[in-house]
Structure 1
Amino acid sequence: MQEAVVRRGIGVALSVVALLSSTPASAREALLFDGRKVATVIHSDDRPLELAAAMLTRDLLKVTGIAPRRSADLQDCATLCIVIGNRGSAVMDAVVRDSGLDLDSLNGEWERHVRVLVPSRSHPGRQYLVIAGSDVRGAIWGMVDLTREMGVSAWEWWADVAPQRRKRLAVDGGHRLSKAPSVHYRGIFLNDEDWGLQPWAARTFEPETGDIGPKTYARIFELMWRLKANFIWPAMHDSTRPFYQIAGNAQAARDHAIVAGTSHAEPMMRNNVREWDDRARGAFNFFTNRDAMIEYWRVRAVEVAPFENVYTVGLRGKHDSEMEGAATPGIARDALAKAIGVQRGLLAAAQGKPADQVPQALTLYKEVLDLYGLGLKVPDDVTLVWPEDNYGYISQLPTEQERARRGGSGVYYHVSYWGRPHDYLWLGTTHPALIREQMERARQMEARRIWMLNVGDIKPAEYLTQYFLDLAFDHELFGQRARAHMETWLARQFDAPLAGRIADIMTDYYDLAWERRPEFMGFSQVEPTRPIRIGDHVRTGGSEAWRRIDRYADLVARAEAMAARIPADRRDAYFQLILYPVRGAASMNERNLKLDLAALHARQGRPVANRLAQEAEAAHDRIVADTAAYNDQRDGKWRGIMNMAPRDLPVFARPVFPKADFPRKAGCGLDVAELSFVEGRPARHALTVHGWGMDGEWRLADQKGIVAEATHGALTAANGFQQRIILSYDGGGAINFGTLECGGRRLAVAGRFIRAGHAAAPVEIDRTISLTAASPAAMNEDWEVVPGLGSRQAALRAKLNLPSRDAPGETQPLRYVFETGNEAGAELRVVAVPVHPLTSANGLRLAVQVDDGPVRILDFETHGRSEDWKRNVLGNMAFRGIALPQLAEGRHEIRVHALDPGFLLDRIDVRLDGAADFYGAPPLS
């Protein structure tokens, strides 16, 4: 039923395509192109709407092949003209007089527009497709909606998604009043630009500036228009000249009606990294050099007063560091309050109006959140921007008292990050389902004033940027799954019939990265930099590593097969948005996992170690080749934009690919780890046959109920004296695993066939009973399903309106039932998604009871950058264990009570003595 709803939603979203077909004209149809003539574009006589009209004109040319006329004079309108303007502008007033159009619905509104087809009363036969904004940006969003209906992607330029040519172009001319944006300020932060955006701009796109200058920012601002974003934090690393020191940057923002700000570490529109020179100005120390800092802030406040800004207030160190000179947190708190007071005075003087009428924000990032918790008093009109922990989990949201503040609240969120415990600057891998869940809780907790997304270099995170900003603009999108939004988006980039299969590919891509991001596969850390080590996927003997390699190999095969079906004019876009990230993630995993397996098998004396090292080397070379291909696309348009080794961290370096000599001997061995099938449940597992350096043949015999992809083969130097055979079970009947003949011996295949009491009954597999939290049988009214999230693609969330409680009391528990075949010692491991307490008034606790045993309170809250927190965010899981020294034979029940709102439960594992210690989720029971 749910899938049907999703499919219906996609149909509605794509219905706009039907408007562009060659169906007969309707009374409400606006015919923009009849195959010969294209509508004229008329715009208000101001710079932002002149640029908007120019963008629409270019889009019409790409879709129709004919360049439309563009003018600021309504008299240039012929049969049909598209009129873009804000209410009260001269051109819009002229249309109102000539048509009788009523625009009173736009009075006092923020970024809304009316679109309607109306006839001219003075020129028979003339029609106006009016796009009237309550303000300039409202008109621009109306223009963007029109381009979307024309089939132009937001990523038309930034990802080379070529618009499709139309022989006829018509859109609905009925009256429509747009909804107000759900979030007031919706923006992007260009950050960690050192390895992509800045070198690309400086050397390829804007060499005349040699940096991210007005030409680059104009392209960025146009992208923001297409994404309906209105707020920028400019690039600010020391690799980049400051935004306000490059002529034309600030004017480009004004020309595009983009609101400017500065990052959490840059108060008063200043870029401290390049603008504050210790030799010239002294120390960046509010205690010892206050007058110089105040003058530094004052000058910029005056310079930017004519522009539309949201001013970051506060005080941190010179560059994303703690305040300089504060001996204690209490001293830092008091100095921060004083600095904010000084800054507000400067803003009031520069603007000539009270400070509470000047938009300001304080981002409670890192140590500033701690100072806020110590009682920092923030003026009521200043927006509090709550950060996540840099890895996707919002650190804190407003309490009921904080929600009443006049300045409201916002969120600062990352899909790209430089820092501890490890960077993820290369590929965009944050799970869309996590973005949906976290921003939904922000929405429900009324943090709706500012949503700022750290997009890094833009290019590796196109879809994630779109999704975040779509949610910011229209909260109704929270009513659909992240997967449904992705499919709709993909249909706009590529052919609609292919969107579902591409969405399957990308969902698997995000699911695999959820277990561990590609950048984290070296199991190393940074700050301080720690070397690569053998990863935890091989600690169970290698089967888990192979399962991950196999999943990525299947993913790549599907992505490459789909590439052949993509229209030729969009194959570059497919490579950038789909194929490069999928292949890159797969190659990074294959390289590291096969090196780990090579080390494991070298210790066992197995010559396959050399073969695995060769395959790992080939995987690394694919990353190099794919990155070069990315940068060479479009005759070098993107040269320098993609870097496969941001910060040159150890995980990206070309590793040593070892080669060893192994003693040769006859015979063969058999790896059968995880060769467990459950009655009635289709599955595929691998059987590995390996030798010791001597050629030999093998043959499987006497299998029943399972199908082997190969029943015979040879162990040779070409395959490293090892072959993996996939065994498939269709779920019907019992299994006989049969025998393997190899090296003159017959070996029994020691698999396990498990009979279940009924189709949904949990069973023990390899000494573990793994229970998915979002089991329908377990549900009650205190919890809600979060689709797409967690190790099993569904998690349970304790509802956000629950009160915090210290004991179960009258709460209804989740109930999970399982059985054991004999008495054994066990550990109950409760696995959660590592969120933080919802607000400062809440904790992050569960109450758990097994059978009639004691109620245990499990506290999942982490503090600061503890080792517990680092482990959690690197693997997107947090767990707590309960020892069960004597778990009796028979039926057992686990009861789980929510003690705090917002807790996200992933799964529960009952690990009997001797259970394998999987890195990721064990086989589903």
Structure 2
Amino acid sequence: MDRADAMWRWFTMLAGALALPSVAAAEDAVLFDGRQLAGIVHDNSPSARLAGELLARDLKQLTGRAATVADDVSGCARLCVVIGTLDSTLVRTVVADTGVDLSTIEGTWERYGRTLVRSKGDPSRRYLLIAGSDRRGTVWGVIDLTRELGVSAWEWWADVTPRRVDRLRVDGARRLSEAPSVQYRGIFLNDEDWGLQPWAAKTYEPEAGDIGPRTYARIFELMWRLKANLIWPAMHDSTTPFYQQPGNAATAHAYDIVVGTSHAEPMLRNNVREWDERARGPFNFFTNRPAMVEYWRERVEAVKDGEHIYSIGLRGKHDSAMEGADTPEQARDATAQAIAIQRDLLAKAQGRPAAQVPQALTLYKEVLDTYAAGLKVPDDVTLVWPDNNYGYIAQLPTPTEQARRGGSGVYYHLSYWGRPHDYLWLATTHPALIREQMDRAWQSHARKLWVVNVGDIKPGEYLTQYFLDLAFDHRIFAQVPRAHLRDWSARQFGADVADRVTAVMLAYYDLAFERRPEFMGFGQVEPVTPVRTSDYLRTGGDEAERRLDRYAALVAEAEAIGAALPADRRDAFFQLVLYPVRGAASLNERVLKLDLAQEHAKALRAPIVPGSTSEAVNRAGNVVRADMNALSDQARAAQQRIADDTEAYNALIGGKWRGMMNAAPRNLPVFRTPTFPRVSLPRQDACGIEGSDLAYAEGRAGTRSFTLYSGGADADWTLVPSPGFVASATRGKLHAANGYRIRIALAHDGNGSGGVNATCGGKTLNLPIRIATPAKGVAPNINHIITLPPASATSPDWESVPGFIAMLRSRLNLPPGNAAATPLTYRFDTDTTGHAEIRIVLLPTHPLNAEQHLRVKIRVDGGALQTLDYATFGRSDEWKRNMLSNTAVRSLTFPQLAAGRHTVELFAASPGLLVDRIEVRLDGAPANYGAPLR
């Protein structure tokens, strides 16, 4: 199988062409036979010309040969790729010359037909005809062809350079594509101040000094490759408004990109830069209505010949509430009046009824409250339901709203600036969450428009593609996130490493789902608060050490993959995988190792004073931790790695991306270089062990880790595991070079109850190993916590969530107020009578729609059925904690839970609840931040 065959199989599996059953062609289309390259002929539309030029560039990179590009078939030799719409003169000429019939897609939305046909007048002349039902349908036909040829969507934006081939051939069978699943699919360029705008202004497009037409041409080509058709342009203070930058509008028109604007920019107006209060007065609809109406009229008249989706409604000058409205009712009435005026302006400018002009109202922040207060929205307007900025859709349409003629859409975030904390640096939203949230949108018939906030585009490449792939073809929802990511990894780096790359990226998303890197300072914004000691230190260090171990293993694997890749993939791997993985790991290492150093200092009589040196004596006569300085030095090195990796990113490809990557957007406290203290410690000829988490379960394999450390003297150490245990190292020496510490992983195969003999510095040490022996089918007690994973039980009212470990979702079609007859049932044992807390941990979703709630019902040991309500209100402190941790918790407390067997029954009382786990926490349970050991 040659490379073209392999890529074709991948392509069809991912539903790239959405082929319908058709009569097979007698032959394949050989685009390059090693000597001759097929020509390209396009119709006279700007987008077809640009698509032909894109295909020619791709063919040149693949073959090293330049294809001829023309706008008529007179020069077509043996084979030409013909690109055009069904109603173009070019396509009509080919249809007449070949007799091919593609009329079944005529008049449809963004579809195309592709087939290899022969000229009736000259049988030696063949055409690979790509005929679109409209101009964008034509483009998707070209994009599917380039994908089939093995060209990545990220060939320019992440330097996944096409590789040379000896020949190119594609299937010549007749193919009719389906219409895209979501009609309008797009990206919002936002928070561009630290990457996209400075890169465009200083590196890529210095002649414009901004995000101008050259930059937008690159963005629009990327959108083509991702089959997106809608742009919300960049709109911060740092950027010239889209319609004030010469050439931007014309470029969007040439690429047939639909232009809209964000929730904060009604009527295609960038208020933050375009509204001049000195000239126009206050942005207040109550006191300055005529000026605002004229402001809107100017824009809709100026752009009336383009293709747009007009954001309507009324908010403040920027991303803020309406000025002058004191109550939701005042805001409701003013919004209704503004919408009526805006629709009248559109009708006059367009010369057609307002109901025929695409419009959207995004129910973002306070606008959702305005809507809930009874705002009447014209039936033809698309209601766009946003997430809550952290990946959880705030509300979806009710059955009545689903029947609206304008339909519904979704505005989703992969990047965010705002409270409780930004995440602008690394793209870490879990693919499984994207899939689950957009699946509930799809099932709720919010299918008209999907827009995703991509920030600076980089480094959110994969997540952007995943979101847009789901939008273009809803059948991809049937594919688990791992499978999609593996296919994507194979396309970028090769099938031989795809499984390893996928495992690395999923581990990266898993770790960030527990706590995003940007949130590791445990501070907040608006107002900005300083960093504080991480909650991972609540257990004294075990949990922080485990997180560091996971990141260290992740980085080691990513670096090993990168080092083994061919040279032509290393820059792409650095951008798409290694930089974000290493960046997240380095920030965690800097934060947690500095916190560990401070934690270890608590055992000293005098606290560490930043920047000082002091003699330190142990309070209780125990071994002094001599690794404090090493931890501080390692934290400093981690901070330097962030700076070095960011500099390397910006220097890639001869400085192609200079200015794109900024590792400290807004210079928030979590990114700032802290003080790295050092202390002068007394030398002690003794060793110690830290690792209170060495708890295992009989019959269940598991790996735990501990730290072996000395008091500052060189010390030889040995471990002798008993049968059933395997240590990552069994002997060595603690010395200054390794910071007088070593982390050792201790795996247990689930059999045997022995332990490990450990010596250090000539003395025997005690390893606190505990092995739980639960009854068959009962969850073990690990460190006084019994974890009940949802997938350990089944119920027809719950379904698994692909991509998350053991997570369940209550079905979206539950009737309101449902308390299902079949619960999730769990059993656990307790050895003694004592205090217990049962925590039911959910993901912090919102009610499915305005008619639903966030409730579960629970019964313990056959007692009374209790209802737990997970509702939060506004941006409360609880809601903020939930967003930063991706958890929502309710608890039942039992002061004296009897020893013996217990039963927990969990009933689905609301649709769409995401159950992560149930924790039974007994006396002595550690105060974990994240999920406990299982």
Q: What TM-score, normalized by structure 2, do the two folds share?
A: 0.95
Distance 1:285 1:604, change over 3 A: same
User: Which residue of 1 is the match for residue 758 of structure 2?
Assistant: 740
Paired with 1:633 and 1:742, the residues of 2 have a C-alpha distance of 47
1:702 Cα shift?
Answer: 6.6
User: Which residue of 2 is the match for residue 22 of structure 1?
Assistant: none
User: Which residue of 2 is the match for residue 655 of structure 1?
Assistant: 674
Q: Aligned to 1:799, which of 801, 806, 811?
A: 811
1:722 Cα shift?
Answer: 2.5
User: Which residue of 1 is the match for residue 617 of structure 2?
Assistant: none
User: Which residue of 1 is the match for residue 774 of structure 2?
Assistant: 756
User: Which residue of 2 is the match for residue 571 of structure 1?
Assistant: 570
- Residues 1:179 and 2:178 are matched in the alignment: yes
What CA deviation, in whole Å up to 9, does each residue of 1:351-389 have, x standing for no partner? 011111100000000000011011111111110000000
Which structure 2 residues correspond to residues 206-217 of structure 1 after superposition, within 5 A?
206-217=205-216
Which structure 2 residues correspond to residues 807-818 of structure 1 after superposition, within 5 A?
808=819, 811-818=821-828
1:14 Cα shift?
Answer: 7.8
User: Which residue of 2 is the match for residue 374 of structure 1?
Assistant: 373
Paired with 2:11 and 2:120, the residues of 1 have a C-alpha distance of 38
Paired with 1:709 and 1:442, the residues of 2 have a C-alpha distance of 46
Paired with 1:633 and 1:422, the residues of 2 have a C-alpha distance of 30
User: Which residue of 1 is the match for residue 838 of structure 2?
Assistant: 828
Paired with 1:402 and 1:344, the residues of 2 have a C-alpha distance of 21
- Residues 1:621 and 2:640 are matched in the alignment: yes
Distance 1:16 1:782, change over 3 A: closer
Paired with 1:751 and 1:31, the residues of 2 have a C-alpha distance of 66
Which structure 2 residues correspond to residues 402-441 of structure 1 after superposition, within 5 A?
402-441=401-440
1:667 Cα shift?
Answer: 2.5
**Could you tell which deviates more after superposition, 254-263 or 815-824?**
815-824
User: Which residue of 2 is the match for residue 250 of structure 1?
Assistant: 249
1:774 Cα shift?
Answer: 1.6
What CA deviation, in whole Å up to 9, does each residue of 1:401-451 have, x standing for no partner? 101111000000000000001111001100000000000000000000000
User: Which residue of 2 is the match for residue 641 of structure 1?
Assistant: 660
SS at match of 2:839: strand
User: Which residue of 1 is the match for residue 618 of structure 2?
Assistant: none
User: Which residue of 2 is the match for residue 559 of structure 1?
Assistant: 558
1:888 Cα shift?
Answer: 1.5
1:683 Cα shift?
Answer: 1.9
Q: Aligned to 2:876, which of 852, 866, 886?
A: 866
User: Which residue of 2 is the match for residue 167 of structure 1?
Assistant: 166
SS at match of 1:74: coil
- Conserved 8 A contact 2:774-2:781: no
**Could you tell which deviates more after superposition, 327-336 or 904-913?**
327-336
User: Which residue of 1 is the match for residue 794 of structure 2?
Assistant: 779
The residue type paired with residue 739 of structure 2 is: G
Paired with 2:60 and 2:714, the residues of 1 have a C-alpha distance of 65
1:748 Cα shift?
Answer: 2.9
- Conserved 8 A contact 2:710-2:734: yes
The residue type paired with residue 479 of structure 2 is: Q
Paired with 2:36 and 2:762, the residues of 1 have a C-alpha distance of 81
- Taking only the aligned residue pairs, the percentage that are identical comes to 60
User: Which residue of 1 is the match for residue 739 of structure 2?
Assistant: 720
SS at match of 2:460: helix
Distance 1:738 1:131, change over 3 A: closer
User: Which residue of 1 is the match for residue 204 of structure 2?
Assistant: 205
SS at match of 2:782: coil
The residue type paired with residue 641 of structure 2 is: R
Paired with 1:129 and 1:828, the residues of 2 have a C-alpha distance of 65
1:578 Cα shift?
Answer: 0.7
Distance 1:67 1:725, change over 3 A: same
- Residues 1:877 and 2:913 are matched in the alignment: no
- Conserved 8 A contact 1:80-1:126: yes
What CA deviation, in whole Å up to 9, does each residue of 1:518-563 have, x standing for no partner? 1111111111001001111111111111111011111111111111
Distance 1:57 1:647, change over 3 A: same
Paired with 1:742 and 1:257, the residues of 2 have a C-alpha distance of 71
Distance 1:14 1:836, change over 3 A: closer
User: Which residue of 2 is the match for residue 88 of structure 1?
Assistant: 87
Paired with 2:896 and 2:906, the residues of 1 have a C-alpha distance of 20
- Conserved 8 A contact 1:811-1:898: no
Which structure 2 residues correspond to residues 91-170 of structure 1 after superposition, within 5 A?
91-170=90-169
Q: Which 5+ residue runs of structure 1 have no aligned equivalent? A: 1-7, 20-24
- The alignment of Structure 1 onto Structure 2 pairs a total of residues equal to 903
User: Which residue of 2 is the match for residue 4 of structure 1?
Assistant: none
What CA deviation, in whole Å up to 9, does each residue of 1:632-688 have, x standing for no partner? 001011000000011111111111111122333342322231111222222222232
1:729 Cα shift?
Answer: 1.8
Q: What TM-score, normalized by structure 1, do the two folds share?
A: 0.96
Paired with 2:10 and 2:26, the residues of 1 have a C-alpha distance of 26
The residue type paired with residue 771 of structure 1 is: L
Paired with 2:831 and 2:790, the residues of 1 have a C-alpha distance of 23
SS at match of 1:774: helix
**Could you tell which deviates more after superposition, 348-357 or 561-570?**
561-570
Paired with 2:680 and 2:596, the residues of 1 have a C-alpha distance of 17
The residue type paired with residue 341 of structure 2 is: V
- Residues 1:788 and 2:803 are matched in the alignment: yes
CA-based RMSD: 1.8
Q: Aligned to 2:626, which of 607, 622, 625?
A: 607
Which structure 2 residues correspond to residues 512-551 of structure 1 after superposition, within 5 A?
512-551=511-550
- Conserved 8 A contact 2:11-2:147: no
Which structure 2 residues correspond to residues 29-68 of structure 1 after superposition, within 5 A?
29-68=28-67
Paired with 1:127 and 1:714, the residues of 2 have a C-alpha distance of 74
Q: Which 5+ residue runs of structure 2 have no aligned equivalent? A: 1-7, 605-624
- Conserved 8 A contact 1:409-1:450: yes
Distance 1:378 1:14, change over 3 A: closer
SS at match of 1:82: strand
- Conserved 8 A contact 1:384-1:409: yes
The residue type paired with residue 787 of structure 1 is: P
SS at match of 1:770: strand
User: Which residue of 1 is the match for residue 278 of structure 2?
Assistant: 279
Paired with 1:688 and 1:579, the residues of 2 have a C-alpha distance of 27
Paired with 2:734 and 2:563, the residues of 1 have a C-alpha distance of 34
SS at match of 1:802: coil
Which structure 2 residues correspond to residues 277-356 of structure 1 after superposition, within 5 A?
277-356=276-355
1:822 Cα shift?
Answer: 1.8
- Residues 1:227 and 2:226 are matched in the alignment: yes
Q: Aligned to 2:649, which of 630, 645, 653?
A: 630
- Conserved 8 A contact 1:13-1:488: no
1:701 Cα shift?
Answer: 4.5
1:891 Cα shift?
Answer: 1.2
Distance 1:727 1:372, change over 3 A: same
The residue type paired with residue 878 of structure 1 is: A
Paired with 1:39 and 1:798, the residues of 2 have a C-alpha distance of 54
- Conserved 8 A contact 1:630-1:638: yes
Distance 1:31 1:744, change over 3 A: closer
1:57 Cα shift?
Answer: 0.7
- Conserved 8 A contact 2:25-2:173: no
User: Which residue of 1 is the match for residue 932 of structure 2?
Assistant: 922
1:754 Cα shift?
Answer: 2.1
- Conserved 8 A contact 1:542-1:597: yes
1:12 Cα shift?
Answer: 6.0
What CA deviation, in whole Å up to 9, does each residue of 1:134-173 have, x standing for no partner? 0000000000000000111110000000112111100000
